[in-house]
Structure 1
Amino acid sequence: MRIIILGAGVIGVTSAWFLAQEGHSVTVIERAQEPARETSYANGGQVSVCHAEPWANPKAPWKTLQWLGEEDAPLLFRLKMDWNQWRWGLRFLQQCTKEKAKANLQNLVRLGLYSRETLQDLRAKTGVIYQQRTEGILHYYTDPAEFAAAIPAAALMRDVGLDRQVKNAAECLAIEPALAQSRFPIVGGTYTPSDESGDAREFTNQLAERCVALGVEFRYDCQIDALEKEGGDVKVVRVSSQAEGVERLSADAIVVCLGSYSPQHLQPLGITLDIYPAKGYSATIPVIDPQHAPTVSLTDDGYKLVFSRLGDRLRVAGTAEFNGYNLDLNPVRCKALIDRTSQIFPEGMDYAAAEFWTGLRPATPGNLPYIGQTRYPSLWLNTGHGTLGWTECCGSAQAIADLIAGRQPAVDYPFVKGV
């Protein structure tokens, strides 16, 4: 089959890889000059099945109200005269029941476990190197109430097959000794030894090179102007570039991997996706004293931050700001990253040399990505992964390749059909 993939982030490139492995002729359309220039560029680095607890849960509405107007809040809604934001917010509230939160968590764990295993298989077969670390992920807590609240979620994840273990303070320090310098005592944590971390951008670029070796064509600096509907199907995408001008590219299947921008391209076709951009921030900080810098990937649940060691750098990422498609760096939120990190790790990093970045994560109300077929037989979705695109990319890509081939994917997940 001739397949066009829209988007060359980590989701689009892994989709290209698994579809090319099936023997399809694959073309990837990307508006940037290279892969992984947007959401996949400087994310938190975690391959974190343990991060599957959805944002939408019974406690979320009250917490969100408490954080309104706080510039450094972990989750910040900037209310706008934007119907899409209000619709998304209402759908988010609908997902906040105990029953739906539990179901979403279980689905995310199943997809994450499958994807992590698929990533490990891909790494073994291709030899990609991306500053990966396989020492697991430790969620640590400095607030006893936050720690107590995390224990039931860890139990739910264990029920679905994730090895998320509850640890006391001493055990947390044994797993990551650098936490001993924290200005706030560590009271406990949960540890998932099978989780990983690594540089998503490096992974995506290396895999794109391997895709080219398989015959995949990448069209960079190429704008997607429209998806064209003909006779009840969508098999044509109109694109434009400085080199080629306006072109109409046809395919047997088109896969939308455009993250937060997916709804904009699908709305003209009558497809409404519950995806809204959640603006996340990261700081990449040089490590100047490795003995005082963490090596195990960490999550600070109280502040919604993640830490991943990428060679001689520490990547700190987190927070979610619902502010439309705004990509301005907010200095208050950048400072919040450094303030909390320097409280936990006062030595070992050159905080003055931190590099800041922001990107738009395609959030769905229940955190479940759209993977599957639309109402148009040739138009497919692999989008809406929120903060878990790096975690879920390989499993999602293998699943979309299976679905296009008419096979049932090897993971129990609510794949979409006919949206």
Structure 2
Amino acid sequence: MDLKSTGKTKEEIKEMYNKYFYETFQRFDFIAEKGEDDYVIDETGKRYLDFMAGIAVNSAGHCNKKVVEAIMEQCQQMMHASNYCYTIPMVMLAQRICDAIGMEKIYFQNSGAEANEVMIKLARKYGKDNFGPNRYHIVTAKNSFHGRTLATLAATGQPGTAIQRNYDPMIPGFSYAEFNNVQAFADACTDDTIAIMVEPVQGEGGVIPATKEFLQGLRKLCDERNMLLLFDEVQTGWGRTGSLMAYMGYGVKPDCVSMAKAMGGGMPIGAMCTSAKLALTFGPGAHGSTYAGNPVACAASYAQIGEIIDQKLPENADKIGAYFREELLKLPCVKEVRGRGLMIGVEFNKDIATDVKYQSADEGLLITAVRPNVIRLVPPLNITEKECDEAFAILHKVVSKLV
């Protein structure tokens, strides 16, 4: 469906939106009508270089040919079946994911927040099954972001911010410790702590990568205290940081990992994968979802992950990410450029991130602002140095005007 087919003007569409929708996003002033490889195309035909990638979703490009073909083929066979049935896409995808990332069990969900939610539920059940009713406490990182359901909101280490404000009381059972500080996490753990849950790279927190010593230290701490190590890889997973999953680049294996975003190629799907240690924690009735493991979403994910692996996109993310980070250091007013692979944060010396975001869109580049002074760049993983140069030129023009 495009603007022409509606018989309406752009202003009429915006008026309809304002009438019917709750506004929780400050939107760009264009209608996204088409996605094509690394570009979004608006109602006038203007092309935008998409260094948001649908917020780290379109890692193999917009409307990837093989993903589209997989969706169309599956839609003609079966669009939905209950989870009382076996379905081929679900089983094939489960094998592909577990074999690729070295995990033993998987549970599909519909989003990243749901994947984190079920990971929290699994940890609590494991604690109660094995250690008693009080073993449910989880320590997460300050400035983390794990989702917007009530449980993942409580797990998010941003008390007092707009993310949590007005949703009190928070669900109990969570506390927060300083990111990249093993001792702080050790001090935050109690006899009732069952798990530590962190992002290998904090995305909404300002694109802060974990150090290798930190993640390895958490693994050791969890092993010593009979706790689980949970990684939230909703944004870092599937090639974004230069390896299939970020933990694979750190040499640390968690007990449980969540994923979503890039795994679906644009279709809503998430998952939780676990080691054999947790294989018996869930049984019939322990959890459920009507749409989780939907055949169309699973077919899309199977094709998307195949593209990520076959095109060697993690390797490209590692190579191009290193090049792009070096270029971004040449921007005016830059305090720091950080990240792993093609998950990049640029911190400025001034609070200009929001202005950079919207003025860059006017110039044909889509990015996000995650802090008043930090922009985030998460482009498709198949981008080239040429496209990075185009993005840099726009950013340089915009930032130069603002400072």
**Could you say whether these structures have the same fold, taking a TM-score greater than 0.5 normalized by the shorter chain as the test?**
no
Name the one with the larger strand percent. 1
Structure with more contact order per residue of length (Cα contacts < 8 Å, sep ≥ 6): 1
TM-score by length of 2: 0.25
TM-score by length of 1: 0.24
